Amino acid sequence: MYPIITLTTDFGEQDSYVGQMKGAILSVQPRVQLVDLNHQIPPQRIVAGAFELWRAWRAFPLHTVHVAVVDPGVGTARRIIAAHIKGHFFVLPDNGLLSFILAEESVEEVVEVADPRFWRSTVSHTFHGRDIMGPVAAHIASGVPLRKLGGELDAADLVMLESRLQDGDRRDRPFRCEVLHVDRFGNVVLPVRGELSGGGRTIHVSIDGTSLALPAARCYGEVPNGALVLITGSSGLWEIAKAGGSAAEHLGVEVGSEVELDTGR
Amino acid sequence: MYPIITLTTDFGEQDSYVGQMKGAILSVQPRVQLVDLNHQIPPQRIVAGAFELWRAWRAFPLHTVHVAVVDPGVGTARRIIAAHIKGHFFVLPDNGLLSFILAEESVEEVVEVADPRFWRSTVSHTFHGRDIMGPVAAHIASGVPLRKLGGELDAADLVMLESRLQDGDRRDRPFRCEVLHVDRFGNVVLPVRGELSGGGRTIHVSIDGTSLALPAARCYGEVPNGALVLITGSSGLWEIAKAGGSAAEHLGVEVGSEVELDTGR
Amino acid sequence: MYPIITLTTDFGEQDSYVGQMKGAILSVQPRVQLVDLNHQIPPQRIVAGAFELWRAWRAFPLHTVHVAVVDPGVGTARRIIAAHIKGHFFVLPDNGLLSFILAEESVEEVVEVADPRFWRSTVSHTFHGRDIMGPVAAHIASGVPLRKLGGELDAADLVMLESRLQDGDRRDRPFRCEVLHVDRFGNVVLPVRGELSGGGRTIHVSIDGTSLALPAARCYGEVPNGALVLITGSSGLWEIAKAGGSAAEHLGVEVGSEVELDTGR
């Protein structure tokens, strides 16, 4: 046995909060592989955490436990849940963090985390990542079945965000969306799925009032340095990219900017 | 055996210094669980490192080895020490990094790190984290007893910072302190211990010339969005928080800002 | 067996790209020690990645596998290589990332990474760190010999950067170089090797038009607080440092600033 636990939080890196969570996990199960997915989720931006979980979870092997703590409701009546989806486990507040995954996958089992025997012995009012979710993840990684953690829930009752991924190959044109993410390279990620194979296709994009006719390509290297291009990023979503530069800076856009797309279909 | 070593430094993340320390540790003991506590300690701010160690160490299981490198005196005559406190081990320069812990706990054993057999074979003049403290921590994690590392010291001779935690329930009012820490969420952490249970209690706070009557609460969720509140944070210290926002930004305060508290007792 | 894999990338920390790479590695080999060397390499700055690999690899034990992904050519015809150097393994694009190491060490074996049996089952056009290099590193860490990964290459054909380390003890004076790196403490790292032993030696430095006579010392602690000094840093390179402060800020210099040195020899 050599279980993996991933961590996604909005804790940043100026505090030892992530380290304290790991200490609580290791106090339960010291033989675990801990992987940081992202701790730079903007404070309390649940949709960013949901997107991060969605694009990262498939890179991990079966039986991985994913803990996500973006938890503005800590200390209130919001539920903590543990879910089993396609051989992976998730421990997180029931506030929409699973939305993007739930839109694609069905839940095998989901329970409310309720039995304090699997928590830290003292539980603070403001840090359930360390005191509840971390230890619960460690117990799941050690083989504790979900049904022992608390009562079963109906997956249809879980909180869902309104934000949705769209299918880029749909026929009705044009269609609208908002910028979902900007990465470190300045790639502008759109909530639009689909494989852009290049081959001379042009897609019309209006973004913050600028109209662009962008060539679809498979990678940055297919266009000249400095050119804008629309590619399918590594998560299967459309990205506006700039070869050798930052598309986000070039266009002056950020998360939430409005986009209109016309695929010419 | 599956030992844990935590790392706390002011090395930041634009260099491989932390990675090099880990390489030196793994060269001694490859079967170790490495946990980053905090590498964003402001350069050479010993008090911030001391606070971080104090609030994080209890989250870890017995036998954990904590290495801390905030070391403005590297290369000078300052001592490096290894201490055994309540079943945990600490390896760090003797410059005050243990102050907050020593104020609460007694030392079982402390030695000066002096025997180069437990160091890296070549020792630089500027990076004792990699060349001395990391390898020594790995040897302790592997079971080497402290007395082999160097001569015993008297705990009363260790360097102590002037900064102290106060007890919020003390009777004399009002009392003064300085902001100890501001976290990523803008919570303003005070060096004041005590459990604030809510229940309608009001505490008067003067901070940088602003006077506030803050309700005490158990968590942010107990007050309306945008309201300021005084809570007991996850380390047991008082924090000025803002529901759904940053108290530090709201108040324009930072680490070191002067605070006067009146608990009305 | 308990293999180590280090990761050096320009992925930053606002995305889960590093985490996804680790997921792909753990899908091949879950019993591995993962160490982050540096993920703050400025986007696509190969020379910074090459420097980081060079100064960090020696801190790790034999058989460590080092993966480096600074890969502006991803998706184009640039090769991915796996190399065996002095008992360590390297997996990276053939774009100069090995330059500083190759200037000092000879290659025992280097192959082109070509056999997709050792890759992720689906390979994106833009994220070969996750889809090719990570899994290949995990297979090497598991004992797969390099020759199975693809055809052998001639080390003399590998891409080399123009940037080179110089020897500070050479006789011809003065000589020129560019600032190679500025670390978190504001130490200004020069591409100049050599042990500065102190002892009253003075070195003349012109940097961005400012002329300085800097004392050579072994560590910051040997000069008064606030003084500039030239020391041999922890990687064996010359660094302009300021005791208790930032030399880079003091001098207003950054990576690439021109420097002229006169050792008075």
- CATH number where C134 lies: 3.40.50.10790
Task: Identify whether residues C150 and C197 lie together within a single domain.
Answer: no
Per the structure, the complete domain to which residue A223 belongs is given by 166-262
Q: Among A141-150, B27-36, B67-76, which stretch is predicted with the lowest mean pLDDT? A: B67-76
DSSP at B65: E
Task: Identify whether residues B13 and B77 lie together within a single domain.
Answer: yes
Mean pLDDT score of chain A, rounded to an integer?
A: 93
Task: Identify whether residues A199 and A250 lie together within a single domain.
Answer: yes
Task: Identify whether residues C182 and C248 lie together within a single domain.
Answer: yes
* pLDDT of residue C172 exceeding 70: no
Task: Identify whether residues A143 and A197 lie together within a single domain.
Answer: no
Pair type for strands A65-69 and A88-93: parallel
* pLDDT of residue B221 exceeding 80: no
Neighbours of B153 (CB within 10 A): 18
**Which chains neighbour B (Cβ–Cβ under 8 Å, 3 or more pairs)?**
A, C
Q: Which of A11, A14, A24 sits opposite B59 (nearest CB)?
A: A24
Task: Identify whether residues B24 and B149 lie together within a single domain.
Answer: yes
Q: Which of C16, C72, C73 sits opposite A37 (nearest CB)?
A: C16
Averaged over B68-95, what is the pLDDT?
Answer: 94
Q: How far apart are CA B67 and CA B217, in angstroms?
A: 35
Task: Identify whether residues A146 and A171 lie together within a single domain.
Answer: no
Q: Which of residues 152-181 of C touch A (CB under 8 A)?
A: none
- pLDDT tens readout for residues C39-65: 999 999 999 999 999 999 999 999 999
Q: At A225, is the pLDDT very low, low, confident or very high (cuts 50, 70, 90)?
A: confident
* pLDDT of residue B54 exceeding 90: yes
Phi, psi of B25 (to 5 degrees): -65, -45
Residues 6+ positions from C63 with CB-CB distance below 8 Å: C3, C4, C87, C88, C89
For position C229, what pLDDT does the model report?
A: 92
**B61/A16 CB distance under 8 A:** no
Q: Which of residues 60-79 of C touch A (CB under 8 A)?
A: 72-76
Where do we find the tokens 């006077």? B211
CATH number at B217 reads 2.40.30.90
Task: Identify whether residues A153 and A202 lie together within a single domain.
Answer: no
Q: Does the CA dihedral B217-B218-B220-B224 come out positive or negative? A: negative
Task: Identify whether residues A50 and A124 lie together within a single domain.
Answer: yes
**Which chains neighbour A (Cβ–Cβ under 8 Å, 3 or more pairs)?**
B, C
Averaged over C209-236, what is the pLDDT?
Answer: 88
Q: Among A166-175, B114-123, C18-27, C68-77, which stretch is predicted with the lowest mean pLDDT? A: A166-175
Q: End of a domain among C157, C180, C201?
A: C157
For position A168, what pLDDT does the model report?
A: 83
Q: Which residues of B touch A75 (CB under 8 A)?
A: 218-222
Radius of gyration, alpha carbons of chain C: 20
Task: Identify whether residues C116 and C206 lie together within a single domain.
Answer: no
Phi, psi of A215 (to 5 degrees): -70, 140
Phi, psi of B184 (to 5 degrees): -65, -25
Averaged over C224-228, what is the pLDDT?
Answer: 89
Q: Which of B35, B183, B244 sits opposite A15 (nearest CB)?
A: B183
Q: End of a domain among A115, A136, A157?
A: A157
Task: Identify whether residues B89 and B208 lie together within a single domain.
Answer: no
Is any Cβ of chain B less than 8 angstroms from the Cβ of A43? yes
* pLDDT of residue B152 exceeding 80: yes
Q: How far apart are CA B118 and CA B135, in angstroms?
A: 7
For position C217, what pLDDT does the model report?
A: 87
Task: Identify whether residues C180 and C118 lie together within a single domain.
Answer: no
Q: At C171, is the pLDDT very low, low, confident or very high (cuts 50, 70, 90)?
A: low
ipTM: 0.94
Q: End of a domain among A118, A139, A157?
A: A157
Q: How far apart are CA B52 and CA C249, in angstroms?
A: 27
Residues 6+ positions from B209 with CB-CB distance below 8 Å: none
**DSSP 3-state assignment of A244?**
coil
Cβ–Cβ under 8 Å, residues B82 and B113: yes
**B55/A16 CB distance under 8 A:** yes
**A231/C125 CB distance under 8 A:** yes
Number of domains into which chain B is organized: 2
